[in-house]
Amino acid sequence: MASSFSSFTAVAFAFTPPVAQRLAPASFMSSFMKATVDDIIDDNVDEHLVTTNTNLQNRRELIKSLPGRAAALSAIVGGGIASSGLIVDTIMPHSATAATAATAATAAAADDKKAQQPIYPPGAETGYGPLQDLIGTWRGNQGFTRVAVPGRGTEPNTRAKNNAESFDIKEFRYEEEFIIEPVQDDALQVGGSIDQYSAVLKYSKKVWIAGTKPVGSNVIHEEVGMFFYLPKIVNMVDETKPINPKNEAPYTLARSASIPHGNMAMMFGDVDIDRTEGVGAPKIPTIDTFPTPLRLALKLGYLKPYLEGLGEQPKLILEDAMEKNGPVKNYYHIKMTTDHKDGAGGLINTNFVNQRANTRVYKADFWIEELENGKMQMQYSEDASIVFHFDGRTPITWPHVMVNTLTKQK
């Protein structure tokens, strides 16, 4: 433990500006680092938690103070006290640690009135915003998916002699559990003249074949990720003033997703329709499952299997679930995608996926609904655009569509 503490102190002191190194008494640095480490290893740290506003102010002072910035930088560079297995979060969430640094900073700048200003300017967004209603466990058994995959024995840039055999269509009903939990509503990203506080939720979902139990091969999809609420950006030059409009978050919401197929997505979006507009039931748009470009797909014979015997339509499945579960009182609509003109968002795939069935775009629509009976309902439509088989230079894009209706559990 002694070696870990010495290493931590040395790294932190190294990141203190030279003038601060000359002025900082050794006894102060030693006591500060000791207090920091003591707090990190305190198993009962929750007993020392202070109110949210005080905690946030302490974090602000921790980052603004020279020794506090050194500690934060050492945590970022060193990844915490690695040799002892202890981790120092880059936002320094331990209130007692923050209080120690804040006390020193306040004593050194007692007349600094800016230290008394609130973290957020008046009128700034706080909390989880539209993500608040997502927190909880959601379950539903009205899921449906349709996806085209490369036909057995085909190569990614060629077609079978019978074009309709170049791919297979898979579709089925499924059940799902979607668990969404809060992480924190003030995850700090330091940005120099401006800082951002993100409200963050983590989620996990499990999907299995309808009518079975969620075990073994019945489970057909698992996913983990996070939701982010992004508009809290603070002016660090003068916290009493709003930020420059050019620094405002271009999107209020984001979502990360990672799945076993070998895809990782980062999506951005906004609330498309809020509750003041979303009175009554939402109007579900047409959800297209045909390959595109449509004219080329028709010419190549790719539409034939879609037009023969595929009766279930995702839009109608969502509408039927609304009718079955009861009248919708109000709703709001969240719209997100990996594909934005400004370059925001994107997908990362494994090499195999890129070469054989390249997933290029992922988009999602969520309708968060309050029913007349007081229950909360979530309906979603998701589409992963997959590219395989080419005609010359024109890629064929195959939608992988998923829809479901979930009810929040008490």
Mind listing the domains of the chain with CATH numbers?
Answer: 2-116 (no CATH), 129-408 (2.40.128.20)
Radius of gyration over every alpha carbon of the chain, rounded to an integer in angstroms: 26
Question: Per the structure block, which two tokens stand in for 280?
Answer: 């009554």
User: 80-87 long-range contacts, Cβ below 8 Å, gap at least 24?
Assistant: 81/4, 81/5, 81/7, 81/8, 81/37, 81/40, 83/3, 83/4, 83/7, 84/1, 84/4, 86/4, 86/40, 86/41
Residue 68 CB contacts under 8 Å (≥ 6 apart), including other chains: 61, 62, 92, 101, 102, 105
Question: Per the structure block, which two tokens stand in for 355?
Answer: 């070469």
Question: Per the structure block, which two tokens stand in for 360?
Answer: 């290029």
Residues of the chain with pLDDT under 50: 1-125
Give CA 266 to chain center in angstroms. 7
Question: Per the structure block, which two tokens stand in for 73?
Answer: 């930088």
* pLDDT tens digit sequence for 178-200: 999 999 999 999 999 999 999 99
Percent of the residues in the chain that have a pLDDT greater than 90, as a whole number: 53
* pLDDT tens digit sequence for 368-380: 999 999 999 999 9
DSSP 243: P
Give the residue among 308, 52, 66 at the shortest CA–CA distance from 182.
52
**Side-chain-side CA neighbours of residue 190 (13 Å):** 14
* pLDDT tens digit sequence for 203-225: 999 999 999 999 999 999 999 99
Rounded to two decimals, what is the model's pTM?
Answer: 0.70
Run of H or E including 61: helix 52-64
